[in-house]
Amino acid sequence: MAVDPPKLRLPPYTALRAFEAAARHSSFVAAARELCVTPAAVAQQVKALEAWLGGALFERHSKGIALTPQGRHARPALSAAMDQMGLAVQNLRSEMRGSELHIAALPALAQLWLSPRLRRLRQDFPGVQISVTAMEEPPNFKREPFDMGLFYLDAPRKDVRTVALAKDHLLPVCTPKILKTLRVKGKIRLHGHPLLHDTVWDDDWARWLDATSMHEVDATTGPQFSLYSMALQAALDGEGLLMGRECLVAPYLTSGKLRAASPIRVPLPTGPNLLLPAHRADHKLTQQIANWIQMSFSEAASTF
């Protein structure tokens, strides 16, 4: 019965975070990816936490893991606490660095839509330091320090204000030079040139060919690019036909560097969206820049 108590300490934060991520993904590897560590590290942290608690949180199966009832029950509160923690830190951070703004964006949107407008954006908001980070999936705004996001989404998200910036359409594009070779007796045939593919938007070609009932063209072959902008560059270099997303290729159609290889535009179920985390909703600078982006998009849309 010590008078100066030995302070029963909480388990280390790292262990909690590892557990939370592993529970959320039901996987140590996925959690490890999220946390930027090796799976072994996650496993160790979870094991340490289990030791501290004196009981198991996961059932280990050779293929994957499953939460025990206790673990399942504990997760929501822990996640909420971590969200709140991240939120508090972000608010603090943004308060300290008043005039910084960090945008998360799909690589394609970052490079093809945002990048050309950055100069003007910076001119219109002098003194604001605008950063852009490209990523495939929208980040967890509660945990990661981004002020807004720019992503293709089909449905609005809870916990984030989602503004659809435009409806997007698919249409095949190529250089004018290639276009000529496709014209046979006034009709256009999509043969004789490679189809350029983006690895993420892999099924764009299939979707368009399906919608236009052009089943004679094989959507599965052709070079793959991990970045849409690289596929686009290949198209600009005359290496083949790209299934264009109108929002992204519009400037090249306007300038004449690319041409539509077909008049048929197939609507996409998803389109570019602006994501505004709820906790930034009343942040003035964020609002202003969000408005700027929306305006800029509707201007662009009018040129389609």
Binding site for DNA (CB under 7 A): 12-15, 18, 27-29, 32, 35-41, 43-48, 58, 60-65
Residues 6+ apart with CB under 8 A from 22: 28, 30, 31, 42, 46, 58, 65
Please choose, out of 52-60, 179-187, 206-214, 264-272, the segment that lies near a copy of itself by the rule CB under 8 A: 52-60
* Helix, strand counts (H, E) of the chain: 11, 15
The site partner of 96 among a copy of itself, DNA, none (C-beta below 5 to 8 Å per kind) is: a copy of itself
Question: Taking a C-beta distance cutoff of 8 angstroms, is the pair 190, 243 a contact?
Answer: no
Would you say 57 or 235 has its CB closer to DNA?
Answer: 57
Residue 36 interacts with a copy of itself (CB under 8 A): yes or no = yes
Rounded least distance, CB 100 to DNA, Å: 22
The site partner of 45 among DNA, a copy of itself, none (C-beta below 5 to 8 Å per kind) is: DNA
Residues 6+ apart with CB under 8 A from 134: 104, 105, 106, 107, 110, 111
Residues 6+ apart with CB under 8 A from 234: 196, 223, 225, 240, 242
Please choose, out of 23-31, 40-48, 120-128, 143-151, the segment that lies near a copy of itself by the rule CB under 8 A: 143-151
Residues 6+ apart with CB under 8 A from 143: 82, 83, 86
The site partner of 187 among DNA, a copy of itself, none (C-beta below 5 to 8 Å per kind) is: none
Please choose, out of 24-32, 74-82, 153-161, 245-253, the segment that lies near a copy of itself by the rule CB under 8 A: 74-82
Would you say 102 or 245 has its CB closer to a copy of itself?
Answer: 102
Alpha-carbon span 271 to 267, nearest angstrom: 9
| Residue 164: both structure tokens together | 């659809």
Please choose, out of 130-138, 204-212, 246-254, 263-271, the segment that lies near a copy of itself by the rule CB under 8 A: 130-138
The 3-state secondary structure of 208-254 reads HHHHCCCCCCCCCCCCEECCHHHHHHHHHCCCCEEEEEHHHHHHHHH
Rounded least distance, CB 19 to DNA, Å: 12
Q: Which residues bind a copy of itself (CB under 8 A)?
A: 1-3, 5, 7-11, 13-14, 16, 36, 53-55, 70, 73-74, 77-78, 80-82, 84-89, 91-93, 95-97, 102, 107, 110-111, 132-136, 143-145, 226-227
